[in-house]
Amino acid sequence: MISAKDVQKLRQATGAGMMDAKKALQEVDGDFEKASRLLLEKGIADARKRGERAQGQGSVGVYIHKQADRPVLGVLVELAAETDFVAKSEEFQRAANDLAMHVAAANPRWRTREEVPPDAIEAEKELITAQARNEGKSDDIISKMVEGKLKSFYQDYVLYEQTFVNPDRFEGTVGEMVEQLSSAMGENIGVTQFARLAVGGRPS
């Protein structure tokens, strides 16, 4: 017999829906660890399926920062979804605006790691290598430093790799935040483009 308490515990641990959690526990005769693994595997499979579906709808998140009642910074973020029903929802609209606020604060250069130009990566590697050689580091140490600092480079400048700026709203990276929204709404959701314009600066 699967109790409501067991289902709630599994839901809190995995973020799964009530029926999915109950079904997983039933399939493995109430084994919590097996049920957790089952839901993880299902979540990965569902995410792959969602990623193959077209994003035909969406919303534009907006953030305006003012100084002395004068707008000095503006951000637009396109958050895409599959259906108009989801795109019009209050949760989706709020997420789009939250993402615009994040872009205003964190100023990412690229959306995903795959969009970073190869020459930008090579330039960063050369800079890290040159600095390490000036410090007298050996080749094996330099290789590890390049790997570690390149990861930090992505976390600084790639939107999906950045830690979301408001932990009260979400703790984790922007990519994780978008994936959680996608899982909760059961649709292929993602940031497709963003623009940040500041007085005295250049569009990004």
Whether 104 and 167 share a structural domain: yes
Long-range contacts of 174-179 (CB under 8 A, 24+ apart): 174/99, 174/102, 175/112, 177/95, 177/99, 178/95, 178/99, 179/47
Residue 204 lies in a domain: no
Question: Is the pLDDT at 50 greater than 70, yes or no?
Answer: no
Share of the chain above pLDDT 90, in %: 43
Whether 141 and 107 share a structural domain: no
Residue 203 lies in a domain: no
Most confident of 2-6, 20-24, 171-175: 171-175
Whether 170 and 134 share a structural domain: no
60/4: higher pLDDT: 60
Q: What is the mean pLDDT of residues 13-31?
A: 77
* Structure confidence at residue 45 (pLDDT): 47
End-to-end C-alpha distance for the chain, whole angstroms: 56
Q: What is the CATH number of the domain that holds 75?
A: 3.30.479.20
Question: Is the pLDDT at 9 greater than 70, yes or no?
Answer: yes
Residue 133 lies in a domain: yes
Q: What is the CATH number of the domain that holds 32?
A: 1.10.8.10
- The full DSSP string for 149-183 is HHHHHHHHHBGGGSBPS-TTT--SBHHHHHHHHHH
Number of compact structural domains in the chain: 3
Per-chain mean pLDDT for the chain:
85
Whether 33 and 130 share a structural domain: no
- pTM of the shown model: 0.69
Whether 131 and 146 share a structural domain: yes
Structural domain span for residue 24 = 4-51
Query: CB of 7 within 8 A of CB of 27?
Result: no
Question: Is the pLDDT at 73 greater than 90, yes or no?
Answer: yes
Whether 181 and 95 share a structural domain: yes
The predicted-structure confidence for 116-159, as pLDDT tens digits, reads as follows: 999 999 999 888 888 888 887 787 888 888 888 888 999 999 99
